[in-house]
Structure 1
Amino acid sequence: MQTLAIDGSVLEGGGQILRNSISLSALLGKPINISKVRNGRKPPGLKNQHRTGIELAAEIASARLTGATNGSSSVFFSPTRIAAGDYTADPVTAGAATLLLQISLPILLFASSTTPSTLTLKGGTNATMAPQIDYIQHVFLPFATRHFGLKVDVDVRRRGYFPRGGGEVHVTVFPGVDGAKLTAASVLERGAVTRIGGIAHVAGLPAHLGKAMADSAIARLAAAGFAPDAPVPVSVEIASTREKNENTIGAGSGIVLWAELAGGGMIGGSAVGSKQKDAVTVGEEAANELIKGLEAGGCVDEWLEDQIIIFMALAEGTSEVRCGKDGLTLHTKTAIWVAEQLTGASFDITVQDSGHTIIKCHGIGYTAPSEEVK
């Protein structure tokens, strides 16, 4: 089969092109050569977490892989057969475990097996340049389960923070069987905010810092009109947890918030603690991010927006999702570009009179091949 050339410098020019291209290559059996890897980053080329993710995908898809070394700007990936199983990936840094999940999850959803696969993903669970694991648990997966039919369980065994990492996440992926396809998502009506949930977490630090994050987020949300006693009442429940000392390496903190919408949408907001910010500020930052997402008026936030593109492309039928008034992010545009290059799915982007952007995708109705890709 002819190798497809992918320009890694297109649009956002980061790791997302790498992850989405590799996932789709594995599923579709298309050999790819990605050049100018992470050309838009300083320094460019592969870092530990990117290399680890590619190696994980290669193991799952029994792929021939070259160029997977730190600093490499060109990667060749040629898959053969996707195998269900038990896999482990460890970047040996604080590299994000959630980004390892992004590259491997779409592949394992279509493993030819009646039994689930498991992923043991190590590294950072709560970082600034990637979704926190709590966002995956409480925003991405609930949305993807409801609208695309995913069946995935996530168990955080140990949290890992920058710079030491050391976190561990166990993921169980239940594949579709007998040619099952992802369902198309139709999320066009936002509806009211039905509930706001959240979790403020600390490890290796005093428990009162978690409570301070949660309390400041609640106060900020109330000032914006999201509270049980507001004119339009909204339930707000933000838990505060402190990890046991044996369940973390190093110290760190963070908070993830999520708003559930009556129309089936999800909006998230998050912040990660640091020595430069007090706990009150961290809680307010997460609340401000959630409020911004809600005020944009979409059914998904800007991070969920780009993460669902690959599933829209693979699903059967036409998916439609209403996004906010700020226009599509560069990450979303990049994800659409990659999906169109590899899958043949077509996307239509329209802006309503209200200013909201609608993403419509005519998916390919992907099913796993019954025989090994040649």
Structure 2
Amino acid sequence: MSHNAVISFKGCNYLRQRLILSTLSGKPISIKEIRSQDDDPGLREFEVNLIRLLDKMTNGTRIEVSETGTSLYYQPGLLYGGSLDHECCKLKSIGYYLEVVMALGPFCKKALQITLRGVTNNQSDPSVDSFISSAIPVLKKFLVVDDGLGMKITKRGMAPEGGGEVIFKCPVRRQLKPIQLMDQGKVKRIRGVVYAVRVSPAISNRMVEAAKGVFLQFIPDVYIYTDHHRGSSSGKSPGFGITLVAESTTGVFWSAEAMSNPAGSKAPPSVPEEIGKQAAFLLLEEIYRGGCVDSTFQSFAALFMAMSPKDVSKCLLGPLSPYTIQFLRHLRDFFGHTFKLESHKKTEEEEELNTGANKVVITCMGIGYLNLSRRVI
């Protein structure tokens, strides 16, 4: 039966994309030569941890890993969901796992409520704050009713020791709704959250002042909250950071963030003012790229567009990130599904001011993915 033909890959890249699409399509995958040339070959601890998490979310999944860890066979079971608890690997932030959890959440059999523990903020993965500020709004657009969707940070945990805790709830839907997101609007306000964990609260104010100093030259409506955690809710490592989000007149959210170098790393100690400014400039760059979805979460929009009913979905995106381009290729591998990509003409205003990056309009016909919570043979 072609339905169960194994899709083969090589190497460790894009493991999360492959696992997500394998789980949704029901097609088993085999990945060989995982870091086979490295001094330390095979799957890393955080990847094994991710596969365990998928095992918890599904029922009847078959996983085989070779002795050296350089080859993996993954045959997905049914997405079950329900109430779950997972201790994430400290080498990656909770954001690394959230990408998979959020992509699969709406397609579970039972509404998902998952508590993830570990590092909430590090320098290499999107933080939990950026998921709250710009990934949740993307998912909301596809869910017909968004009651029951939410994410909450109950404890902060900075790298390297973590100790953070996040609760994510996602309702289940029989099917998503197709979208037309073509108007990115203008920036109307900027919000942000500054967190300082196990360090002086004065650091928060210094970051706020530095970031606001950049934005107040452009826009009056800037408000940055401080989120100071103490005692047991502040995780195990000291650190500080800032997540900023710009909201447009049409309800589009762009986010950017910066955080201090982790304790115990060889990097020099971070200066709060520099972290505040760095995040502010990154957000300005994100606004310049534009599009109706933040560049970090373009692949979410592509996934949910492909999974929506058999109707046309259209979305304006900023320049596609390499990660998104690979995701579109993977969608073709698993679902035989392709997108139409067109470059978007700049508005007269953008032409005049010579601003705005080259945007892309992605269009696709949904595959009409139904969450029947059972496999149709």
Same fold per superposition (TM over 0.5)? yes
Structure 1 residues 343-352 or 118-127, which shifts more?
343-352
2:183 to 180, 189, 192: 189
> 2:164 — aligned with what?
167
Q: CA offset at residue 353 of structure 1?
A: 3.5
Whole-Å Cα distance in 2 between the matches of residues 39 and 306 of structure 1? 28
Deviation for aligned residue 1:289: 0.6
CA contact (8 A) 1:187 1:265 kept: no
Stretches of 4+ moved more than 6 A in 1? 38-44
Aligned to 2:367: 364
- Looking at structure 1, the residues matched to 316 and 167 of structure 2 have their Cα atoms a distance apart, in angstroms, of 32
* Match in the other structure for 2:304: 311
Take 2:38 and 2:127, find their aligned partners in 1: how far apart are those partners?
Answer: 21
Distance 1:20 1:39, change over 3 A: farther
Aligned pair count? 353
1:182 maps to a residue whose letter is L
In 2, Cα distance between the equivalents of 1:49 and 1:135?
Answer: 21
Listed as ranges, the matches of 1:230-249 within 5 Å are 235-247=221-233, 248-249=235-236
Which runs of no fewer than 5 residues in structure 1 stay unpaired? 229-234
Partner of 2:65: 67
Confirm or deny: 8 A CA contact 1:8 1:18 kept in the other structure.
Answer: no
| Aligned match of 1:232 | none
* Cα distance between partner residues in 2 of 1:372 and 1:293: 40
> Any idea what SS the aligned residue of 1:122 has?
strand
Which stretches in structure 2 are left out of the alignment for 5+ residues?
262-267, 347-357
Tell me the CA shift for residue 146 of structure 1.
Answer: 2.7
Q: Look up the match of 2:123.
A: 128
| Aligned position for 1:342 | 334
Amino acid at match of 2:326: T
| Residue among 241, 247, 263 paired with 2:250 | 263
Q: What is the match of residue 278 of structure 1?
A: 271
Partner of 2:4: 2
Q: Distance in 1 between matches of 2:8 and 2:274?
A: 41
User: Do structure 1's residue 250 and structure 2's residue 247 form an aligned pair?
Assistant: no
How many angstroms apart in 1 are the aligned matches of 2:128 and 2:38?
23
Deviation of 1:369 after TM superposition, in Å, equals: 3.2
Q: 2:154 maps to which residue?
A: 157
Tell me the distance in 1 between the aligned counterparts of 2:4 and 2:69: 23
Whole-Å separation in 2 of the counterparts to 1:112 and 1:189: 34
Q: What's the offset of the Cα at 1:41?
A: 9.5
Q: What per-residue deviation string (whole Å, max 9, x for no partner) do you get for residues 247-267 of structure 1?
A: 121211111111111233221
TM-score, length basis structure 2: 0.86
- Identical pairs, percent: 24
- Look up the SS of the partner of 1:85 in the other structure: strand
Contact 1:200–1:239 (CA under 8 A) maintained in structure 2: yes
Q: Offset at 1:48? A: 2.1
298-307 or 56-65, which moves further after superposition?
Answer: 298-307
Rounded to whole Å, the distance in 2 between the matches of 1:134 and 1:38 is 31
Render the CA deviation track for 1:169-203: whole Å, top value 9, x for unaligned. Answer: 11122111xxx211122211121112211101011
Partner of 1:23: 20
User: Are the equivalent residues in 2 in contact too, given 1:148–1:315 (CA < 8 A)?
Assistant: no
Aligned match of 1:231? none
- After TM superposition, the structure 1 = structure 2 runs for residues 314-329 of structure 1, keeping only pairs within 5 Å, are 314-316=307-309, 317-324=311-318, 327-329=319-321
Confirm or deny: 8 A CA contact 1:92 1:166 kept in the other structure: no
> How far apart are residue 303 of structure 1 and its match?
0.8
Contact 2:194 2:207 in 1 (8 A): yes
> What is the root-mean-square deviation in Å for CA atoms of aligned residues?
2.4
8 Å contact kept, 2:7–2:27: no
Q: Deviations over 1:2-48 (max 9, x none)?
A: 33324254xxx63xx22122122222221111234478999774222
Distance 1:238 1:45, change over 3 A: farther
State the Cα deviation string for residues 115-163 of structure 1 (Å, max 9, x = none): x222111121111111110001111102321344465211212111111
Tell whether the 8 Å contact from 1:212 to 1:280 is kept in structure 2 after alignment.
Answer: yes
Assess if the C-alpha contact under 8 Å between 2:118 and 2:164 holds in 1: yes
**SS at 1:172 equivalent:** strand
- State the distance in 2 between where 1:142 and 1:242 align: 25
Query: What residue identity is the alignment partner of 1:295?
Result: Y
Deviation at 1:49, TM superposition (A): 2.0
Structure 1 residues 346 and 371, CA gap change in structure 2 (3 angstroms)? same
Inter-partner Cα distance in structure 1 for 2:204 and 2:149:
28
Change (3 A) 1:276 1:89: same
Q: 1:333 to 1:93 in 2, by over 3 A?
A: same
Change (3 A) 1:345 1:134: same
SS in 2 for 1:87: strand
Please give the secondary structure, in 2, of the residue aligned with 1:109: helix
For 1:250 and 1:75, the matched residues in 2 are separated by 34
Contact in 2 for aligned 1:203/1:245 (Cα 8 Å): no
**SS in structure 2 at match of 1:249:** coil
Q: 1:217-263: CA deviations, max 9, x gaps?
A: 1111123x1x21xxxxxx21111121112112121111111111123
Contact 1:122 1:169 in 2 (8 A): yes
